[in-house]
Amino acid sequence: MADTSVELCGIRLTNPVIAASGTFGYGYEFAGLYDINCLGTFSFKGTTHKPRFGNPTPRIAEAPAGLLNAVGLQNPGVEAVISQELPKLKACFHKPVMANVSGFSVEDYVYTCSMLDQEPQVGWLELNISCPNVHGGGMSFGTDPAAAGAVVRAVKAVTTKPLIVKLTPNVTDITAIALACEEAGADGLSLINTLLAMRIDLDTRRPVLANGTGGLSGPAVFPVALRMVWQVARAVHIPVVGLGGVSSAEDLLEMMLAGATAVEVGAANLVDPYACRDIVLDLPRVMEKYGIEKISDIIGAAHG
């Protein structure tokens, strides 16, 4: 029988399939469709210190083989997440969950992470450093090694849970950011976040998204994500979670061969709400097809 289990930062997963933040709500939204405990885990909706309404509409646009979004981190704020969302999540999901955290200053990240670190069901903190640093001229924390290192160091000082830092692909050298995060104490890395992109409406001659630009996800970004996972996994000594355009068990195996310990599935959930479940169910068949008995054995195997 195929062994699909992996260990991510000291926590065992029954399989490496993780539903990605922003595509799976707080879990209970999908629990009415299938038993979400079949997943390795999921990363819940990006949470900030204060409530956020998000960007003006339209904030979703289709693209060939993908999707653009500029939702703007809409969420009720960390205190409401803890008091209202997590109890509903606990009723339908009985495994450690990944808490995705966003912020616009180091202080934001520190406050939100310190709050979620106290929640028993939170297994990992996933730090989204693609947010604009309001004290740094609006540049994303994730585009500057010094800024990335500073926020990781500050969060590690107030938390005890494993810290996985989610990296932006909108940089010249993603390995430089990855190494800065590792040096600052990150326990793991997840990549990639969305690629900056846009569409223009030919009738109005204006950008389709009210925000102008948005983040591209879906199958179109998979080869880029795979390349970056390959590069980062070769450069660091901490676990890597691969994501970006994954929509099948075969894609998952590619990510793991490139060096991913676990794999997040994002935009595919918005196309087919059963996507994660179907990947979990199909994984033993695909492992058998390629002669894989224990999935953890193939992590980074393509590196030679």
Q: Token match 């210190």: residue?
A: 49
What DSSP letter does each residue of 50-80 carry, written as one string? S-B--SPSP-EEEETTEEEE-----B--HHH
Contact 24, 42 (CB under 8 A): yes
Residues 6+ away with beta carbon under 8 Å from 228: 167, 169, 174, 191, 192, 244
Is 181 an active-site residue?
no
The conformation of residue 84, written as its DSSP 8-state character, comes to I
Q: What is the DSSP string of 165-217?
A: EEPPS-SS-HHHHHHHHHHHT-SEEEE--PEEE--EETTTTEESSTTS-EEEE
Let me know: does 124 contact 9? Beta carbons within 8 Å: yes
Task: Tell me the torsion sign for CA atoms 95, 110, 106, 180.
Answer: negative
Among residues 9, 113, 131, 181, the one annotated as catalytic is 131
Distance CA 258, CA 118 (A): 34
**What b/e sequence results for 161-185 when a residue is b if at least 16 CB atoms lie within 10 Å of its CB, and e otherwise?**
bbbbbbbbbbbeebbebbbbbbebe
Q: Which residues are annotated as catalytic?
A: 131
